[in-house]
Amino acid sequence: MKQTSTVLSVAGLVSMVSAHGFITSPQARMPGTAMQAACGQQVYNNQAADNYGNIQGELQVAASQSDYNAASCDITLCKGYKYADNTKNVFSYTAGQVIPIKFDVRAPHTGVANVSIVNTKTNTVIGSPLKSWATFASNSAPIPAEDTSFSITMPDVSSECGTAGACVIQHWWNAASIDQTYESCLDFTMGSGSGSGSGSAGSSSAAAAPASSSVSSAAAVVSSTATSAAATSAAATSAAASVTSVPAISSSLPAAVSSLTQAIPTSLLTSVIPTAAPTGASSGSGSVPAPSSPLPEGFTIQDLMDWLAYIMSDVVKDLGGSTKKSRKYARDFRM
């Protein structure tokens, strides 16, 4: 019955699947040790494994962690990514300069988006958004080129953004239908403080309300998600225990999922999986219960592959030598 629970737990874990979208050029903020200290080990691990993930996924991980500090993490500000981890990636811009930006939509989910300059101390937008989308990354039509390659023109924010870390350019994407919010932040200066200072970043005023709502709903489902995660990880570890070469597993599991994903045509990866929940199936021991809820709207094959890669990475970490340690988080492999 444990194997049955493992298979069905996929539906319970879909809200933790990441890999959806992120700025790829210029270099955006990335997770590091400062984020780890502020947000906790597991939140950091979540984003270090896949920086494309959403805020709600981070919050589901964070809710069960004793080392998560909401105030210091400030997770709705660039997903908790810290300037201290990104001091080598501060850009110096001038008023009127046109900045080309590339954004990778790895899995489309229809939503809204904007690019804004954010005051990191107050987590508010300076002026108006530099670019907005009423419909972004639609999963019902081909993704427009304008969603992934566009330019912004810098306003004069020299008085507010003269010191590195005081401001960021933030790409904010909210897919309300699946309750997921994505943020990418660029550190920059304009004026006397170019290339030095400290920073963090935040949400636009338009983004604030949806993000807060998403945060609340994410926290609400932590308990059921954590239970499914533990069951899945336990089954995976049990299967791996029969293999004698741990190093071989460590090098092959995530790589195998990645290779398989690359072999699947993009058109298939972005295909939406039907959302209707199965009614249950019979097995040798009786009826198999169906998942408690259907897959979320817009859940794609890419989402499923990303989830598998995430689980495999977690198994690898455990096989690498952490099994003897007492772990007090949702993905504890012990049953």
* 85 and 209 share one domain: yes
CA distance 16 to 110: 18
Task: Kindly state whether residue 335 falls inside one of the protein's structural domains.
Answer: no
pLDDT value for 20: 85
Q: pLDDT tens-digit profile of 304-315?
A: 766 665 556 555
Query: Residue 44 above 50 pLDDT?
Result: yes
Parent domain of 46: 19-220
Q: Which of 220, 250, 266 is the last residue of a domain?
A: 220
> Which region among 19-23, 100-104, 151-155, 321-325 has the lowest average model confidence (pLDDT)?
321-325
Q: Which of 197, 220, 243 is the last residue of a domain?
A: 220
Phi, psi at 281, each rounded to 5° = -135, 160
Packing angle between helix 2-13 and helix 301-317, nearest 10 degrees?
120
Task: Kindly state whether residue 192 falls inside one of the protein's structural domains.
Answer: yes
* 131 and 263 share one domain: no
CA distance 277 to 282: 15
Query: Residue 63 above 60 pLDDT?
Result: yes
Q: pLDDT tens-digit profile of 74-106?
A: 999 899 999 999 999 999 999 999 999 999 999
* 201 and 226 share one domain: no
Residue with token string 């939509």: 105
CA distance 246 to 248: 5
Task: Kindly state whether residue 149 falls inside one of the protein's structural domains.
Answer: yes
Among candidate residues 149, 152, 150, 154, the one with its CA nearest the CA of residue 93: 154
Residue with token string 């850009």: 91
Q: What is the dihedral of CA 313, 107, 259, 310, to 10 degrees?
A: 10
pLDDT value for 193: 45
* 58 and 172 share one domain: yes
Phi, psi at 117, each rounded to 5° = -95, 125
Q: How far is CA 27 from CA 18, 30, 87, 278, in A?
A: 20, 9, 12, 43
pLDDT value for 23: 97
Q: How far is CA 254 from CA 121, 239, 250, 304, in A?
A: 39, 15, 8, 14
Answer for the pair 15, 296: CB distance below 8 angstroms, yes or no.
yes
Q: Could you tell me how far CA 86 lies from the centroid of its own chain? A: 18
Query: Residue 239 above 90 pLDDT?
Result: no
pLDDT value for 191: 85
Whole-number percent of the chain with pLDDT over 90: 49
Q: How far is CA 92 from CA 95, 189, 200, 278, in A?
A: 10, 5, 16, 54
Q: Which two tokens stand for residue 268?
A: 């298939």
CA distance 308 to 321: 21
Q: pLDDT tens-digit profile of 118-158?
A: 999 988 999 999 999 999 999 999 999 999 999 999 999 99
Number of folded domains in the chain? 2
Q: Which two tokens stand for residue 267?
A: 């058109």
Task: Kindly state whether residue 252 falls inside one of the protein's structural domains.
Answer: yes
Q: Which of 165, 194, 220 is the last residue of a domain?
A: 220
pLDDT value for 168: 98
Mean pLDDT is highest, among 59-68, 193-202, 226-235, 297-306, for: 59-68
CA distance 309 to 49: 9
Residue 22 banded pLDDT, cuts 50, 70, 90: very high
Task: Kindly state whether residue 327 falls inside one of the protein's structural domains.
Answer: no
pLDDT value for 309: 58
CA distance 163 to 59: 30
Among candidate residues 227, 292, 233, 221, the one with its CA nearest the CA of residue 63: 221
Q: pLDDT tens-digit profile of 191-220?
A: 854 443 333 333 333 333 333 333 333 433
* 215 and 85 share one domain: yes
Name every residue whose Cβ is closer than 8 Å to that of residue 118 and which is 6 or more positions away in sequence. 124, 125, 126, 167, 168, 169, 170, 185, 201, 202, 203, 204
* 153 and 168 share one domain: yes
For residue 246, the tally of other CB atoms under 10 A from its CB is 16
Please report, for the domain that includes residue 120, its CATH number.
2.70.50
